[in-house]
Amino acid sequence: MAIGDQRCLAIVGESASVTEPATSPLGIFGGTFDPIHYGHLRTAFEMLQSLRFGEVSFMPCGDPPHRGATFADAELRLAMVRAATDGQLGFTVDDRELLREGPSYSVDSLSALRREFPARSIALMIGMDAFLGLPKWHKWREILQLAHIVVAHRPGWRAPDLGPLGDMLADCGTHRIDDLHGNRSGHIFVHDVTQLEISSTEIRELVAAGRDPRFLMPDAVCRIIEDSGCYPAVSSSAEPV
Ligand code: ATP
């Protein structure tokens, strides 16, 4: 389902009705998703519900600029994200970073979305670990001109109170959900989500050790991992792609 598609907002019933106007915030959840897991999905779902977003769009990163090559290739990571989100009301998938050449800079994706949705509130959703690395992102200060930033608390990570991010939080931080709805960009909202201490790294290591990753991610994702053999045991060729 494409971003902004009204159908994703409709409840299918005897008389289908739209529960949220298309102008409610669009959440963008970027990541390498190598693989996607319940930590991502639960975070996205809680934000969708409690922040009253119209939709959350999962945006797999093509060429991640801040880390080495991925293990599963782009096509497989996209397939896993599609399988994990399929059928969930309010979840969509955006493959623009996989189609674009060169490094996947969030600022470029947000600029493109801003052109598509000039008036809509857009919120970039990231974990606290990713937020702490924000000053290393390409043109990071421009992000708040294009979108809000919603930060999910992750186990073991604390919000900064010093430095450029501490200053930014002091200037742009808000505790009001209405600020995310009433403005199209410019606020930072730190949101407590259920702490699921799951990481893709841990899952890859588990699979490479020959163990079953069941219950850390949807079964459909486990099947893709098993069928493709994308996280081979360390003894075979576990080279990043
Ligand atoms: P890796 O272990 O390979 O670094 P990851 O599990 O952190 O991967 P990413 O795809 O890098 O997953 O993360 C995408 C986004 O999801 C980031 O903003 C990250 O902070 C957030 N995230 C990842 N895992 C969780 C989790 N368990 N709970 C909440 N947010 C998470």
Task: Using most ligand atoms within 8 A of CB, pick from 32, 33, 151 the residue to mutate for ligand 1.
Answer: 32
Phi, psi for 124 (deg, rounded to 5): -80, 120
Q: 218 and 59 in contact (C-beta within 8 Å)?
A: no
Q: How far apart are the CA of 13 and the centre of ligand 1, in A?
A: 35
Residue 156: inside a domain: yes
Whether 42 contacts 196, CB under 8 Å: yes
Q: Is 200 part of any domain?
A: no
User: H-type helices in 72-140, by residue range?
Assistant: 74-85, 96-99, 106-116, 128-132
CATH classification at residue 73: 3.40.50.620
Assess whether the C-beta atom of 196 lies below 6 angstroms from ligand 1: yes
Closest approach atom of ligand 1 to CA 67: 4
Ranges assigned E (strand) in 100-220? 122-127, 148-152, 188-191
Query: Ligand 1 in contact with 43 (CB < 6 A)?
Result: yes
Residue 177 is assigned to a structural domain of this protein: yes
Could you give the CA distance from residue 206 to residue 62 in angstroms, rounded to a whole number?
24
Task: Confirm whether pTM is higher than 0.85.
Answer: yes
Q: Are 47 and 206 in contact (CB under 8 A)?
A: no
**Structural domain span for residue 70:** 23-192
Which residue lies with its CA nearest to atom 15 of ligand 1? Answer: 31
How many angstroms separate the alpha carbon of residue 153 from the centre of ligand 1? 11
Q: Say if residues 56 and 47 touch (Cβ distance below 8 Å).
A: yes
Q: Burial, 132: exposed, middle or buried (Cβ in 10 Å; 0-12, 13-18, 19+)?
A: middle
Q: Is 200 in the pocket of ligand 1 (CB under 6 A)?
A: yes
Tally of domains in the chain = 1
Q: Is residue 208 part of a domain?
A: no
Q: CA-to-CA distance for 22 and 42, rounded, in angstroms?
A: 23
Whether residue 9 lies inside any domain: the answer is no
Closest atom of ligand 1 to 33 CA is 10
Question: Is residue 213 assigned to a domain?
Answer: no
Residue 40 Cβ contacting ligand 1 at under 6 Å: yes
**Tens digits of pLDDT across the chain (241 residues):** 455 543 333 323 223 333 444 579 999 999 999 999 999 999 999 999 999 999 999 999 987 776 778 999 999 999 999 999 999 999 999 999 999 888 889 999 999 999 999 999 999 999 998 999 999 999 999 999 999 999 998 667 777 888 999 999 999 999 999 999 999 999 999 999 998 989 999 999 999 999 999 999 999 999 999 999 999 976 544 556 5
The distance of Cα 75 from the centroid of its chain, to the nearest Å, equals 17
CA of 8 to the centre of ligand 1 (A): 25
